[in-house]
């Protein structure tokens, strides 16, 4: 390894330390089914799903219980065999009450999954495959929970040339994608074939950061001979898992501002999502469970757990030994972009990649100092924005002016807030500004 | 049964690098310590008293201002202390202490606080204080004692405790700085004296070596933007060499410009003040180059032997403009793609 032998990566970004040692070596384990599961009809971006069951119905594990409520929407399935006991608003990890299907688990069911009709997917058209993925309930498992079939539906007149598998997992602490790549590469490569067929793409890249050397090696050793697939080891840097950054790192292409990856002939999908799709086409099982990393100094037994969707957070925490007395914050997701929870009776969602329990020691409520324009935020912003300037504009609520400084291109990765020595809540203010600006744009459109 | 835990709600990110603004300020102060120690070595207790007075009055001014205006305590951010020390480094060793106090008051109050405090000022506060003193007491501010001068550490370099506004007799053992010797007598100081600091000048102007040590440390730890001093040095080297090449008799070689007067102190510790320098790297290149050019122009063609202070203050005033014109393109900037399309056609 020479001084100039550097791994590919994107420009700027931060090195927050990966904190993955807590769980990186722990094989995925299963947890028991909870007595009651809560399936929110809205656990993805887009329209809520429409229930197809009523209270009192008996449902089988894997049965469709809600169908897509539109194009940007997905199907939902029963994660357990049991009885629908209620369809009503329930607490949701976003902090709102969301219409949900409640299923009481049948304690006597063996909960096996019957694969009655192995799928002959090669006989199906791309359109049919996309529909199966939509009804299979697939969303981006990396955290954004954007319906997968929408990304796979290439608009008329555009064409994909590259499929990038996002195995970056740049959020500190999280190891679920890592473990899935290590243990379930068969399903991953199977899923890649299906996506290749849908997108009519030959060349595939799997981007993995070099803090997952074992996964890189395993994937390289198992790439099928007839697949044009390259596993690319990337320098470990946050936020490389952001779609735009990954495209820059792998292909040295930039997605034009306001455009999508398909505009530069690329489709990016999370490795866990593709693995799930592969699993469905091999064994018929839709998205009814996912791997969640339960970690952080506040959890007694950190683990990578395969969790049925809808499992209550408390049950999962208890399965992992419970939380320590000094736990002060429980996040859905990683420390950079995760969402803190106010209550423990919320369900695990399709987009829940990790549960992070932070204690008193990690909570840093710090004094804010004036911006001294030290440029550190400019040096780290992966999009090349000027967070210092944007922060000043946000503070004086000059949101209109923020548009001139490209605030809408902000990917909300939080690198600026991480690095700021004056502890200014930069990304927090940008989120607020973007929300308000979007509302205003919607109003302008309406009038 | 269920334990009650209190869950905190706040907004991501929840990871934070540990070094905050007061820590950065402390590090810059540490980086100044070698040069400060050099000042003690060359000028003895007078230097110590000047530095202590400046730092004390900087804290005092800001503390009293905070009290009077009901603002939160800002002394902990360390910026007042740093401004005090920086100002002291620009002063001649023979200056009466009451002038130091007055200059510090001006630097903090007018240079920083009336703009809204740390982060809001346009001009480098320490240089504002120094400019004020230079304008008010030109004779004292340009009276220099030679370093060492055969005095022991405890001997005063001047009447440090002169009462305010008493016309003081200029110290007997005054001498000229390398810059004024060059300007008015065409006499070049040898390189070694300049580099190691054995020449007359302000407290922090003498040893280029000790200042460079601090500067390299700061640049390596990213406390300063290395582009500013680099651009500054490069411009000085190029313009001074060009002039020297035209007429070696009149114009000093580049190393003389580089290592004499306040150039090192200014380039490494004043021009790099993040608050008053541009916020983009392109802007910083232009900013440093502008200062370098102005320094050589003022020193060579102006009425004063030294021009670092005015060069930096002038460029401070330009830096908002540089921010405006030197915005780098963002990721996926539409302009980049228009260019490509035009290229393809």
| Claim to verify: residue A105 and residue A84 sit in the same structural domain | yes
Asked if A316 and A413 sit in the same domain, the reply is: no
CB contact under 8 A, B331 and A384: yes
Contact check, Cβ <8 Å, B5/A384: no
Residues of chain B contacting residue A364, judged by C-beta atoms under 8 Å apart: 16
Contact criterion met (CB below 8 Å) for B287 and B319: yes
Domain count, chain A: 3
CA distance linking residue B2 with residue A314, whole number of Å: 10
Tell me, what's the pLDDT at B161? 63
Which residue in B1, B2, B3, B13 has the most chain A C-beta atoms within 10 A of its own C-beta, making it the best mutation to test that interface? Answer: B13
Question: Do A126 and A234 have their domain in common?
Answer: yes
Q: What is the pLDDT of residue B163?
A: 61
Interchain CB distance below 8 Å, A363 and B8? yes
Same domain? A208 vs A189: yes
What dihedral angle (degrees, nearest 10) is formed by the CA atoms of A285, A286, A287, A291?
A: 10
In a domain, A12, yes or no: no
For A41-100, give the secondary structure using H, E and C: CCCCCCCCCEECCCCCCEECCCCEEEECCCCCCCCEECCCCEEEEEEEEEECCCCCEEEE
Residues A437 and A440: their CA atoms lie apart, in Å, by 5
pLDDT (average), residues B93-120: 91
- For residues A440 and A326, state if they share a domain: no
Average pLDDT rounded to a whole number, residues B332-345: 62
Query: According to DSSP H, which parts of A167-235 are helical?
Result: 176-183, 185-199, 213-222
- Residue A6 within a domain: no
User: Of the residues A359, A391, A409, which one is the last residue of a structural domain?
Assistant: A359
Asked if the model's pLDDT at residue B200 lies above 80, the reply is no
A337–B13 CB contact, under 8 Å: yes
A325 within a domain of the structure (yes/no)? yes
Burial class of residue B184 (count of CB atoms within 10 Å of its CB; 0-12, 13-18, 19+): exposed
> Are the beta carbons of B329 and A384 separated by less than 8 Å?
yes
- Residue A231 dihedral angles phi and psi, to the nearest 5°: -90, 120
- Mutation site, B8, B12, B73, interface A, largest A CB count within 10 A: B12
SS3 category, B224:
coil
Which residues, 6 or more positions from B179, have their beta carbon under 8 angstroms from its beta carbon? Answer: B260, B261, B299, B305, B306
Q: What's the domain range around A301? A: 34-109+287-359
A72 and A162 fall within a common domain: no
Q: Which residues of A touch B329 (CB under 8 A)?
A: 384
Name, in order, each residue with C-beta under 8 angstroms of A3's C-beta and a sequence gap of 6 or more.
none
**B334 contacts A256? CB cut-off 8 A:** yes
Alpha helices in chain B (DSSP H): 21-43, 45-69, 79-89, 97-109, 125-136, 138-141, 178-185, 191-196, 208-220, 227-246, 254-259, 263-265, 281-301, 308-325, 334-344
Residue B72 burial (CB < 10 Å; 0-12/13-18/19+)? exposed
Asked which of A172-181, A239-248, B198-207, B287-296 is least confident by mean pLDDT, the reply is B198-207
With respect to residue A420, please indicate whether it lies within any of the assigned structural domains: yes
DSSP bridge pairs for B175: B144
- From chain A residues 385-424, the ones with a CB under 8 A of any chain B CB are 385-386, 388-389, 406, 409, 414, 417-419, 421-423
Q: Which residue has the higher pLDDT, A354 or B326?
A: A354
Q: What value does the mean pLDDT take over residues B316-328?
A: 86
Is residue A8 assigned to a domain?
A: no
Do A128 and A260 have their domain in common?
yes
Cα A304 versus chain centre, distance: 15
CA distance B265 to A372: 20
CA distance A359 to A295: 12
Find the angle CA(B19)-CA(B24)-CA(B27) to the nearest 5 degrees: 115
When pLDDT is cut at 50, 70 and 90, the band that residue B154 belongs to is low
Residue A189 falls inside a structural domain: yes
Give phi and psi for B21, each to the nearest 5.
Answer: -55, -45
Question: B-side interface with A, Cβ within 8 Å?
Answer: 3, 5-17, 19-24, 77, 79, 117-120, 222, 225, 274-275, 277, 279-281, 323, 327-334, 336-337
ipTM of the complex: 0.84
A89 in a structural domain:
yes
Same domain? A139 vs A216: yes
**pLDDT value of residue B151:** 60
Picking from B6, B13, B20, the nearest residue to A417 by CB comes out as B13
CA dihedral A424, A426, A429, A431 (to 10 degrees): -150
Query: Who's near A92: CB < 8 A, 6+ residues apart?
Result: A40, A42, A43, A98, A100, A346, A347
Is the CB of residue A383 less than 8 Å from the CB of residue A411?
A: yes
The structure tokens listed for A442 are: 């919607």
Q: How far apart are CA A285 and CA A271, in angstroms?
A: 17
**Local confidence pLDDT in tens for the 447 residues of chain A:** 445 568 999 999 999 989 999 999 999 999 999 999 999 999 888 899 999 999 999 999 989 999 999 999 999 999 999 999 999 999 999 889 999 999 999 999 888 876 656 678 888 999 999 999 999 999 999 878 899 999 999 998 999 999 999 999 999 999 999 999 999 999 999 999 999 999 999 999 999 999 999 999 999 999 999 999 999 999 999 999 999 999 999 999 999 998 999 999 999 999 999 999 999 998 889 999 999 999 999 999 999 999 999 999 999 999 999 999 889 899 999 999 999 998 999 999 999 999 999 998 888 778 889 999 888 999 999 999 999 989 999 988 889 899 988 999 999 999 999 999 999 999 999 999 999 999 988 888 887
Q: What is the pLDDT of residue B150?
A: 55
Q: Which of B330, B331, B335, B336 to mutate to test the interface with A (most CBs of A within 10 A)?
A: B331
| Domain-located, residue A423 | yes
Cβ-count burial A407-417 (b if 16+ within 10 Å, e if not): bebbbbbbbbb
d(CA A254, CA A33): 44
Q: Which domains does chain B have, with CATH numbers?
A: 21-325 (1.10.3430)
Chain A residue numbers touching B338 (CB-CB < 8 A): none
Lowest average pLDDT, out of A154-168, B7-21, B140-154, B226-240, goes to B140-154
Beta bridge partner(s), residue A232: A207
Whole-number Å distance between alpha carbons of B208 and B211? 5
A355 touches A295 (CB < 8 A): yes
Mean pLDDT for chain B overall: 84
Nearest to B331 among A254, A369, A374 (CB): A254
Do the Cβ atoms of A33 and A111 come closer than 8 Å? yes
Answer whether A330 touches B (CB < 8 Å): yes
- Residue of chain B whose Cα is closest to the Cα of A257: B332
CATH number at residue A313: 3.10.20.600
CATH code at position A205: 3.40.50.11540
**Domain final position from A219, A254, A283:** A283
What residues does A103 pair with on adjacent strands? Answer: A37, A84
The β-bridge relationship of strands A76-77 and A339-340 is: unpaired
Which residue, B197, B278, B84, B229, is CA-closest to A373?
B278
Q: Do B22 and A369 touch (CB under 8 A)?
A: yes
Same-domain status, A224 and A103: no
Assess whether A308 and A440 both reside in one domain: no
Query: What pLDDT is attached to residue B158?
Result: 60
Same-domain status, A397 and A353: no
Q: Both A384 and A431 in a single domain?
A: yes
Please tell me if residue A172 touches chain B, with a CB cutoff of 8 Å.
yes
Q: Which residues have CB under 8 Å from A49's CB, separation 6+?
A: A41, A42, A66, A67, A68, A69, A73, A74, A75, A76
Element (H, E) at A273: helix A271-283
Which of A283, A312, A339 is the last residue in one of the domains? A283
């Amino acid at each position: 390894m020479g001084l100039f032998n550097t791994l590919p990566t994107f420009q700027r970004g931060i090195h927050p330390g990966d904190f993955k040692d807590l769980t990186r070596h722990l094989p995925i384990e299963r947890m028991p089914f909870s007595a009651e599961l809560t399936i929110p009809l809205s656990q993805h971006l887009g329209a809520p799903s429409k229930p197809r069951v009523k209270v009192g119905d008996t449902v089988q594990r894997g049965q469709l219980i809600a169908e897509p409520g539109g194009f940007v929407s997905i199907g939902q399935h029963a994660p357990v065999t049991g009885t629908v006991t209620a369809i009503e608003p329930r607490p949701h990890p976003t902090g709102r009450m969301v219409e949900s299907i409640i299923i009481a688990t049948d304690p006597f069911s063996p909960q096996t999954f019957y694969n009655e009709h192995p799928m002959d997917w090669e006989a199906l058209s791309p359109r049919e495959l996309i529909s199966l993925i939509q009804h299979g309930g697939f969303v981006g498992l990396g955290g954004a929970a954007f319906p997968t079939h929408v990304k796979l539906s290439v608009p008329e007149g555009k064409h994909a040339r590259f499929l990038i598998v996002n195995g970056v997992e740049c959020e500190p602490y999280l190891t679920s994608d890592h473990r899935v790549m290590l243990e379930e590469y068969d399903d991953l490569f199977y899923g890649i074939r299906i996506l290749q067929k849908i997108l009519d793409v030959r060349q595939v890249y799997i981007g993995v950061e070099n803090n997952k050397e074992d996964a890189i090696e395993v994937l390289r050793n198992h790439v099928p001979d007839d697949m044009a697939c390259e596993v690319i080891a990337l320098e470990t840097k946050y936020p490389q898992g952001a779609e735009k950054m990954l495209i820059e790192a792998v292909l040295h292409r930039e997605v034009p501002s306001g455009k999508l990856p398909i505009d530069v002939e690329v489709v990016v999908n999370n490795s866990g999502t593709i693995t799930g799709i592969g699993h469905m086409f091999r064994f018929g099982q839709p998205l009814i469970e996912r791997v969640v990393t339960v970690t952080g100094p506040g959890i007694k037994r950190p683990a990578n757990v395969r969790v049925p969707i809808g499992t209550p957070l408390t049950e999962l925490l208890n399965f992992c030994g419970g939380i320590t007395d000094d736990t002060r914050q429980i996040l859905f997701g990683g420390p950079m972009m995760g969402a803190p929870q106010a209550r423990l009776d919320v369900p695990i969602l399709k987009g829940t990649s990790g549960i992070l329990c932070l204690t008193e020691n990690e909570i840093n409520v710090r004094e804010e100092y004036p911006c001294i324009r030290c440029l550190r935020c400019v040096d780290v912003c992966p999009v090349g924005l000027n967070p210092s300037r944007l922060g000043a504009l946000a503070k004086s609520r000059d949101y209109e002016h923020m548009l001139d400084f490209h605030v809408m291109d902000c990917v909300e990765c939080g690198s600026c807030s991480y690095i700021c020595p004056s502890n200014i809540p930069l990304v927090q203010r940008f989120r607020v500004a973007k929300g308000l600006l979007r509302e205003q744009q919607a109003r302008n459109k309406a009038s | 049964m269920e334990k009650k835990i209190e869950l905190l709600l706040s907004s991501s990110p929840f990871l934070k690098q540990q070094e905050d603004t007061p820590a950065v300020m402390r590090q810059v102060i540490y980086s100044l310590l070698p040069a400060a120690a050099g000042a003690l070595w060359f000028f003895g207790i007078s230097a110590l008293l000047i530095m202590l007075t400046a730092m004390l009055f900087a804290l005092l001014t800001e503390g009293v201002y905070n009290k009077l205006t009901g603002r939160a305590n800002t002394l902990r951010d360390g910026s007042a202390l740093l401004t005090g020390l920086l100002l002291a480094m620009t002063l001649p060793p023979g200056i009466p202490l009451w002038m130091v106090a007055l200059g510090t008051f001006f630097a903090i109050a007018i240079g920083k606080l009336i703009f809204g405090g740390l982060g809001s000022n346009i001009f480098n506060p320490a240089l504002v204080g120094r400019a004020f003193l230079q304008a008010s007491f030109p004779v004292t501010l340009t009276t220099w004692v030679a370093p060492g001068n055969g005095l022991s550490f405890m001997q005063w370099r001047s009447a440090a405790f002169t009462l305010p506004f008493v016309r003081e007799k200029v110290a007997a053992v005054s001498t000229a700085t390398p810059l004024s010797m060059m300007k008015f007598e065409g006499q070049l100081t040898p390189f070694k004296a300049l580099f190691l600091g054995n020449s007359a000048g302000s407290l922090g102007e003498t040893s280029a070596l000790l200042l460079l040590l601090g500067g390299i440390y700061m640049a390596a730890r990213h406390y300063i933007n290395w582009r500013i001093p680099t651009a500054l040095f490069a411009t000085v080297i190029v313009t001074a060499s060009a002039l020297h090449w035209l007429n070696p008799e009149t114009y000093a070689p580049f190393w003389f410009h580089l290592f004499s007067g306040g150039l090192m102190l200014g380039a490494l510790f004043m021009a790099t003040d993040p608050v008053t320098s541009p916020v983009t790297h392109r802007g910083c290149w232009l900013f440093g180059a502008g200062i370098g050019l102005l320094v050589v122009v003022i020193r060579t063609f102006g009425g004063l032997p030294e021009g670092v202070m005015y060069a930096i203050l002038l460029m401070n005033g330009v830096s908002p403009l540089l921010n405006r014109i030197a915005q780098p393109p963002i990721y996926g900037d539409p302009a980049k793609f228009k260019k490509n399309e035009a290229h393809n056609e």
